[in-house]
Amino acid sequence: METISKAEEALNKYPFEGINQFGTPLLVNILNAGGCLPTKYFKQSTYDKAESISGEMLTENYLIKRRACYGCSMGCGRYSGVGEGRFATPPQEGPEYETINMFGSLCLNDNLESIIKANYLCNNLGMDTISAGSVIAFAMECFEKGVISNKDLDGKELHWGDSDAIVETLIKIANREGIGDILANGVRAAAEHFGPEAEDIALHVKGMELPAHEPRGESKILGLQYAVSARGACHMHPNWASCWDSGNFESGLTEFGLPWPPADKFLETDHQKGIAYRILVLQGEIAEILGCCVFHSWGAADECLTPQLYGDMLRTLTGLNITNQDLMTAAERSWTMKRCFNVREGLRRKDDKLPRLMFEPLQDGPAKGECFKDLEGMLDEYYEAFGWDKGEGVPLKETLKKLDMEDIAQAIDQFI
């Protein structure tokens, strides 16, 4: 009980004010003000109609009640619906921030009811809202540039902000009808189908569509995360790294070697970001290994669930003598195993990359002019921090042996 009370005391100081009231859609206005709200398929970083799709607007007009995972005091989940009209939707879970952005500003769509409808369709038809919204925005960009035409759309058009067309296209994707049969395979496969010009437009890493966070404006370490993530451009698994240099949260990680964030979040190399990302990865992996929500892991040392607190709880619950460093080591084995899996499947440094657009300056907002200039240098620092070969990004044998992964060290030879 002492351990739990300590954890609850920390969460009562949780720094994301408003997360209970507005849920993750709270981020719409916050990121828009910061110039890092993906808009018009990442061509813009601010949206002049952000307020109309904000968490505040959702709460005021469509929220039925808050939802929480079992035993969670945060209650960041939403339960919403649309009572009548062409986008009438029964009560259902969501939408979350990512969904609102993908079907909203990314498509220049300010109709919140259509976003709630799109969320409902994805939930009930088994589709991911990030990938679905992103592939529709990709198709809109292709249509505007003439890469796809009315002929590809069965005589119809796909313009920015057309909320009806967004919902109709989503249904086509679910049923694999017309262009939906192509878009259902995701941005990378759709781009390959439409040709080189479409491939130049497509935004993905390792085949996974970019999520609703603009790394050029939000955090350069987030761009590194997109590039090296085992499953592609992911902002959450295992952690939301920009909480470090954009949020200035140390999360109780300084004792494990986390450097204090640089004053300028747009700096890339020579500021220990490789070391920082290694520690942030391990923090996130601990939450994933234990089956916990990573949301609770962000803040000052006394405002969140730190590795130290997780260690205390685990020792108390199990009676096992598990140290905080044991948790970090287990986390490093987990992350390294994912890399080795990808090495076996043929992925190397060449696959740790960002789309071309990320190297072009932002055209609007507070972060105007920002872009990636030295991703390769960031990769060098990341590989070095983990003890991986800089040439190919393969974990070194001595690193694997140090992690008690001798069997992997022996097996990896046949894949490199």
Instruction: Render pLDDT for 255-288 as a digit per residue (tens, 0 to 9).
Output: 999 998 877 899 999 999 999 999 999 999 999 9
Are 202 and 227 members of one domain?
no
pLDDT at 415: 82
pLDDT at 172: 97
For residues 40-47, give the mean pLDDT.
98
Are 277 and 360 members of one domain?
yes
Q: Is residue 343 part of a domain?
A: yes
Q: Give the distance between the most distant pair of CA atoms in the chain.
A: 67
pLDDT at 17: 81
For residues 367-384, give the mean pLDDT.
97
Of 209, 238, 253, the last residue of a domain is 209
pLDDT at 285: 95
Q: Cα separation of 376 and 224, whole Å? A: 10
Q: Is residue 10 part of a domain?
A: no
pLDDT at 260: 86
- 388 has a pLDDT exceeding 80: yes
- The DSSP letter of residue 210 is P
- Decide: 375 and 273 in contact? Cβ < 8 Å: no
Q: Is residue 8 part of a domain?
A: no
Q: Cα separation of 209 and 130, whole Å? A: 7
Are 248 and 396 members of one domain?
yes
Q: Is residue 278 part of a domain?
A: yes
Terminal-residue alpha carbon distance, the chain: 50
Are 323 and 191 members of one domain?
no
Here the tokens at position 106 are 């990314």
For the ranges 17-21, 33-37, 211-215, 344-348, which has the lowest average pLDDT?
17-21
For residues 196 and 11, the model is more confident at 196
pLDDT tens string 167-217: 999 999 999 999 999 999 999 999 999 999 999 999 999 999 999 999 999
Q: Is residue 168 part of a domain?
A: yes
Q: How far is CA 143 from CA 105, 358, 382, 406, in A?
A: 17, 21, 38, 52
Q: CATH number, domain at 239?
A: 1.10.599.10
For residues 133-138, give the mean pLDDT.
98
- 297 has a pLDDT exceeding 80: yes
- 341 has a pLDDT exceeding 80: yes
Cis bond upstream, residue 95 (ω within 30): yes
Are 391 and 369 members of one domain?
yes
Are 56 and 130 members of one domain?
yes
Q: Taking Cα atoms as reference points, which of 100, 109, 13 lies closest to residue 59? A: 100
Are 252 and 283 members of one domain?
yes
pLDDT at 262: 76
Q: Taking Cα atoms as reference points, which of 4, 107, 13 lies closest to residue 304? A: 13
pLDDT-derived band at 20, boundaries 50, 70, 90: confident
Of 191, 209, 227, the last residue of a domain is 209
Q: Is residue 106 part of a domain?
A: yes
Q: Is residue 155 part of a domain?
A: yes
| Residue appearing with tokens 């954009």 | 246
Of 209, 231, 247, the last residue of a domain is 209
Q: Is residue 79 part of a domain?
A: yes
Are 223 and 346 members of one domain?
yes
Phi, psi of 173 (to 5 degrees): -65, -45
Are 259 and 191 members of one domain?
no
Q: How far is CA 81 from CA 12, 54, 164, in A?
A: 30, 15, 17
Q: How many domains does the chain have?
A: 2
Are 231 and 358 members of one domain?
yes
Are 287 and 388 members of one domain?
yes
- Decide: 331 and 281 in contact? Cβ < 8 Å: yes
Q: CATH number, domain at 89?
A: 1.10.569.10
Q: Taking Cα atoms as reference points, which of 340, 335, 308 lies closest to residue 324? A: 308
How much of the chain exceeds pLDDT 90, in percent?
Answer: 84
**pTM (predicted TM-score):** 0.95
- For the ranges 161-175, 237-251, 295-309, the one whose mean pLDDT is highest: 161-175
Q: What is the CA radius of gyration of the chain?
A: 22
- 135 has a pLDDT exceeding 90: yes
- 247 has a pLDDT exceeding 90: no
pLDDT tens string 301-329: 899 999 999 999 999 999 999 998 999 99
User: Structural domain of residue 226, as residue ranges?
Assistant: 215-415
Q: How far is CA 80 from CA 92, 157, 267, 332, in A?
A: 6, 30, 40, 39
For residues 399-403, give the mean pLDDT.
96
Are 188 and 247 members of one domain?
no
